[in-house]
Amino acid sequence: MSFGKGCNLHLIDGSAFIFRAFHALPPLTRKSDGLPVGAVQGFCDMLRRYVGTDHGDFAPTHLAVIFDKGSHTFRNDLYDLYKANRDEMPEDLRPQIPLTRRATEAFNIACKEVEGFEADDIIATLARQAREAGGEVTIVSSDKDLMQLVGDGVVMFDAMKNRRIDRDGVFEKFGVYPERVVDVQALAGDSVDNVPGAPGIGVKTAALLLNEFGSLDELLDRAGEIKQPKRRETLIAYRDQIELSKRLVLLDDRTPLDFTLDDLEIRDPDPDTLLGFLAEMEFRSLSRRIAETLGTEAPTIPETAPAAAAAGAPGSTEDAPPFDGTAYACIRDLATLERWIAEARDQGFVALDTETTGLNEMTAELVGVSLATAPGRAAYLPLAHRAAGDGDLFDDGALLPDQVAREDALAALKPLLEDRSVLKIGQNMKYDAKILARCGIDVAPFDDTMLMSYALHGGEHGHGMDTLSERYLAHRPIPIKEVIGSGKTQVTFDRVPIDAATTYAAEDADVTLRLWRLFRPQLHRAQVTRVYETMERPLVPVLADMERAGIKVDRDTLSRMSNAFSQKMAALEAEIHALAGETFNVGSPKQLGEILFDRMGLDGGKKGKTGAYATGADILEDLATEHELPARVLDWRQISKLKSTYTDALQEHINRETGRVHTCYSIAGANTGRLASTEPNLQNIPVRTEEGRRIREAFVAEPGRVLVSLDYSQIELRILAHVAGIETLKQAFRDGQDIHAMTASEMFGVPMAEMTPEIRRQAKAINFGVIYGISGFGLARNLRIPRGDAQGFIDRYFERFPGIRDYMDATVAFAKAHGRVETLFGRRIHTPEIDAKGPRAGFARRAAINAPIQGSAADIIRRAMVRMPPAIDGMPARMLLQVHDELLFEVAEDAVDALVATAREVMEGAADPVVRLDVPLVVEAGAGPNWAAAH
């Protein structure tokens, strides 16, 4: 039937159905794997009831469910804050969205969406078309944004209240008829969608004004005639904003559609399809009810044992076969490779692992790739294995036969690895992604079992493959040492015989796939899906790009400094030997201790464990007030540290090809969510002393560029003020006050105007102490004051800020009750030692107090880093380094201001919209030719 007179088109607002279903029903998960499905069930039930309802004269002849698609629409181009105040979707709702589309299709109801348009615009367009064709329209929604469409054969229907809304219904709601609804909305604004409107004008006033003046244009043109001075001024001052608001609320009824009204004709569902879907979702009573309506038998849904029983229990891997190293395939020709690729493509996911000649992704060469498609079903693709060549000059270095040519293999793999519909699964995917990026392959989309484990089990154990396999699969993978050897006899992987390599490499892919099957459903159950999807996984490509970019380090600068340090050290060493009266190794704490405490007889104690004297900087500093020798040793140590760890070692890390230093960030290394930087560690480059800071002069920008540093000011104290809810501190941050001086003033009763540096320094130490889980002993040692005095400070601090003690007690209690603490963003940090006895209890307690603060700060900068590349896309700038609360960029000289503005906005807004901080985040920026100047 062609759409026309006598037809009635029903348009269901899909999002409204989903959100109603989600909020109306308690959380429900699918038994077999823990997938959240409550909203899907509610959605299906609402569709069932809607289709089953007798709509009388308004019975549908055509029906569609309309969804939003894409988060960016023309409204965002008009106004970048449009819907900016929306909370992120709840994490257990997100995976259900695609399922509601499948549900709609299972009901055989047309399911429509258009990229970049809101459902409301599509509804407006279809309503117009239907009206023009002479038919009638029922919009199934109670959203006021759709009320502008009512009238002239179009009504709305509130499915929850079973109530029809016509022109009079709209008038009831807005005080105007539908044709003036947008005018009211333009004036009143909308806090839900963040439409600004005119300040101080609500729906009532707007309707009043419009009824007086007739239309919005008229009203704005004649605003001067308004009697109330406040309203008059507002309308004149905010004219632009009001007109913008109108463009935001006005629906676009000319959305391009790739279907016609005729495509929406109502269809009966296919019982097998619909019941099959409901069975897959494991909706028992709903499928019984629907089967009854359809006059068929409901399928039996097996009672599967909850996966929770299997999850986490070592050895239990559902239906997976045991590990068998002899069962793995070796891919020797292109045809075989194509078969594996087809298999991966068919099922939509594949585990992946690369083998290379070394651990450094910047220099390592690809040797082979392994794939796994099911537990126990894995293959190794050797690409660059060479003869072992111990002594045999003729075979040495020759490529072994029967290997697929590297270029052919990569050309075959590239479409698979870049296919948006095939999920690639890896363990530490950043490594593989970097190797493959050098081969011109951009792996996406992917999952990473290491990061899944980090989100699930952070704090419980490490997240390396061997640990995870032993713990969760009860299987000890072949140690790499058994394949490549160790020490002098160690070889690179390309020298490993292909048979041995196959057993080892395919096993890694197999282990990865099995871990993924285990972890994937657990993410939802542990409610860490959002953590994983927003703060772990998307960081992988961001960090990979930063690491590949590297930072330019000037070898000559380092080399000159190194020489100067050598001379200084030699002089100091001579001086020290003279003072000691004998020569000894100044770098040996053991020998130094014997000189100081045995030969010279100074005061100082032994440390229990090894019986050696402690000669740390704090002890030497105490001794240095009386004696020359420890003072010179301190000088020597500082120089020695700078030379060995920085000026010398750093030069070794300059990449031959790029002339830059490429660090490697571990995403899952630190318990709190912080990153860690290795080989070299670029997060501990000196800055605190003048001498050390000069090392940073060697970190430079390319010609025509500068380094730009942006760092969060006092981020951890701000988070503390927020989580502990300390109003005085929060207000001080809002007012931009000196927080340490403010603390000192509050504690010691000193007016801010009379603050001395010494009092401020003490308050600063206390503030830091609080973040670390303060103890009288620790503060006493840090401030070098008697323990009783330190305890007095702490007591006074808690007296003044009782909320902080409450926060600490609550955090420790939470840790004891749950075995973990959480950051503001839901990252879980497990605290297995919290019930320990003895000194370990104290450590665990302090770590538990610190973790949510340090971890929330880490989450915030992670979020900023994930949002940074799209934000600065197109600018002549790249992000190079992260140092916990600082991001370092290399930027074209003329783009510094633009970069700073954009990056600052991203960083300061990084908590939004998941967490509304009660304190502002403040970012300080600097720029210069080198890191010392930028910081």
Of 215, 644, 728, 756, the one binding DNA by CB under 7 A:
644
Q: From the CB of 472, what's the least distance to DNA, in Å?
A: 21
Which residues, other chains included, contact 315 with Cβ-Cβ below 8 Å and sequence gap of 6+?
Answer: 473, 474
Alpha carbon distance 835, 631 (integer Å): 43
Alpha carbon distance 199, 708 (integer Å): 39
Stretch that binds DNA, among 138-146, 622-630, 702-710, 848-856 (CB under 7 A): 848-856
Residues 773-792, one symbol each (x = binds DNA by CB under 7 A, - = not), give xxxxxxx-xx----------
Site for DNA contains 874 (CB under 7 A): no
Q: From the CB of 583, what's the least distance to DNA, in Å?
A: 13
Query: Sheet holding 329-330: strands in order across?
Result: 329-330, 377-382, 366-374, 349-356, 423-426, 446-448
Site for DNA contains 798 (CB under 7 A): no
Site for DNA contains 227 (CB under 7 A): no
- Number of Cα atoms under 13 Å in the Cβ half of residue 660: 17
* Interior angle at CA 617, CA 612 and CA 621, nearest 5: 110
Which residues, other chains included, contact 848 with Cβ-Cβ below 8 Å and sequence gap of 6+?
Answer: 773, 811, 812, 815, 821, 831, 834
Of 29, 138, 522, 850, the one binding DNA by CB under 7 A:
850
Site for DNA contains 681 (CB under 7 A): yes
Site for DNA contains 692 (CB under 7 A): yes
Site for DNA contains 671 (CB under 7 A): yes
Q: From the CB of 71, what's the least distance to DNA, in Å?
A: 32
Stretch that binds DNA, among 17-25, 48-56, 605-613, 870-878 (CB under 7 A): 605-613
Stretch that binds DNA, among 212-220, 334-342, 850-858, 899-907 (CB under 7 A): 850-858
Cβ burial of 751 (10 Å; 0-12, 13-18, 19+) is: exposed
Amino acid letter at 206? A
Site for DNA contains 744 (CB under 7 A): no
Q: Which of 926, 913, 919 has its CA nearest to residue 715?
A: 919
DSSP strand pairing (163-165 vs 154-158) = antiparallel
**Site for DNA, residues 484 to 523, rule: CB under 7 A:** none
Site for DNA contains 851 (CB under 7 A): yes
Of 588, 784, 802, 924, the one binding DNA by CB under 7 A:
588
Write out the two tokens for 622: 């105490």
Stretch that binds DNA, among 253-261, 384-392, 615-623, 897-905 (CB under 7 A): 615-623
Pick 95 or 587: Cβ nearer DNA? 587
Q: From the CB of 766, what's the least distance to DNA, in Å?
A: 6
Stretch that binds DNA, among 196-204, 277-285, 838-846, 925-933 (CB under 7 A): 838-846
Write out the two tokens for 644: 């060995």
Residues 312-351, one symbol each (x = binds DNA by CB under 7 A, - = not), give ----------------------------------------
Q: From the CB of 638, what's the least distance to DNA, in Å?
A: 4
Of 751, 838, 870, 874, the one binding DNA by CB under 7 A:
838
Q: From the CB of 840, what's the least distance to DNA, in Å?
A: 9
State the sign of the Cα–Cα–Cα–Cα dihedral 251, 252, 255, 261. positive
Write out the two tokens for 932: 């010392």
Residues 746-775, one symbol each (x = binds DNA by CB under 7 A, - = not), give -------------------xx-xx--xxxx
Site for DNA contains 672 (CB under 7 A): yes
Q: From the CB of 842, what's the least distance to DNA, in Å?
A: 4
Site for DNA contains 689 (CB under 7 A): yes
Decide: 34 and 524 in contact? Cβ < 8 Å: yes
* Interior angle at CA 695, CA 588 and CA 869, nearest 5: 125
Of 312, 750, 843, 909, the one binding DNA by CB under 7 A:
843
Stretch that binds DNA, among 347-355, 675-683, 722-730, 889-897 (CB under 7 A): 675-683
Decide: 8 and 137 in contact? Cβ < 8 Å: yes
Site for DNA contains 854 (CB under 7 A): yes
Q: From the CB of 654, what's the least distance to DNA, in Å?
A: 13
Decide: 99 and 37 in contact? Cβ < 8 Å: yes
Residues 619-638, one symbol each (x = binds DNA by CB under 7 A, - = not), give -x-------------x--xx
Site for DNA contains 934 (CB under 7 A): no
Pick 339 or 840: Cβ nearer DNA? 840
Alpha carbon distance 383, 331 (integer Å): 10
Pick 399 or 570: Cβ nearer DNA? 570
Site for DNA contains 856 (CB under 7 A): no
Pick 104 or 663: Cβ nearer DNA? 663
Decide: 780 and 786 in contact? Cβ < 8 Å: yes
Of 295, 688, 704, 873, the one binding DNA by CB under 7 A:
688
Spell out a b/e string for 551-585, using b for 16 or more CB atoms within 10 Å of the CB, else e.
Answer: bbbbeebbeebbeebeebbeebbebbeebbeeebe
- Site size for DNA (CB under 7 A): 73
Pick 62 or 846: Cβ nearer DNA? 846
Of 679, 789, 908, 912, the one binding DNA by CB under 7 A:
679
Alpha carbon distance 500, 385 (integer Å): 11
Q: How many residues does the chain have?
A: 935
**Site for DNA, residues 879 to 908, rule: CB under 7 A:** 883-886
Q: From the CB of 593, what's the least distance to DNA, in Å?
A: 7
Which residues, other chains included, contact 690 with Cβ-Cβ below 8 Å and sequence gap of 6+?
Answer: none
Site for DNA contains 589 (CB under 7 A): yes
Q: From the CB of 696, what's the least distance to DNA, in Å?
A: 9
Site for DNA contains 604 (CB under 7 A): no
Alpha carbon distance 198, 202 (integer Å): 8
Which residues, other chains included, contact 283 with Cβ-Cβ below 8 Å and sequence gap of 6+?
Answer: 37, 41, 44
Stretch that binds DNA, among 95-103, 305-313, 530-538, 841-849 (CB under 7 A): 841-849
Pick 61 or 775: Cβ nearer DNA? 775
Site for DNA contains 674 (CB under 7 A): yes
Q: Which of 626, 639, 642 has its CA nearest to residue 573?
A: 639
Stretch that binds DNA, among 206-214, 306-314, 493-501, 606-614 (CB under 7 A): 606-614
Pick 495 or 884: Cβ nearer DNA? 884
Site for DNA contains 678 (CB under 7 A): yes
Q: Reduced to 3 states, what is the DSSP secondary structure of residue 440?
A: coil
Which residues, other chains included, contact 617 with Cβ-Cβ below 8 Å and sequence gap of 6+?
Answer: 634, 637
**Site for DNA, residues 265 to 284, rule: CB under 7 A:** none
Site for DNA contains 617 (CB under 7 A): yes
Alpha carbon distance 229, 216 (integer Å): 18
Of 161, 420, 488, 609, the one binding DNA by CB under 7 A:
609
Site for DNA contains 832 (CB under 7 A): no
Site for DNA contains 538 (CB under 7 A): no
Say if residue 306 is preceded by a cis peptide, omega within 30 of 0.
no
114: left (phi over 0), alpha (psi -120 to 50) or beta: beta
Site for DNA contains 645 (CB under 7 A): yes
Site for DNA contains 714 (CB under 7 A): no
Instruction: Kindly give the interhelix angle for 802-818 and 839-872, rounded to the nearest 10 degrees.
Output: 100
Alpha carbon distance 130, 312 (integer Å): 55
Q: What are phi and psi of 594, to 5 degrees?
A: -65, -40
Site for DNA contains 928 (CB under 7 A): no
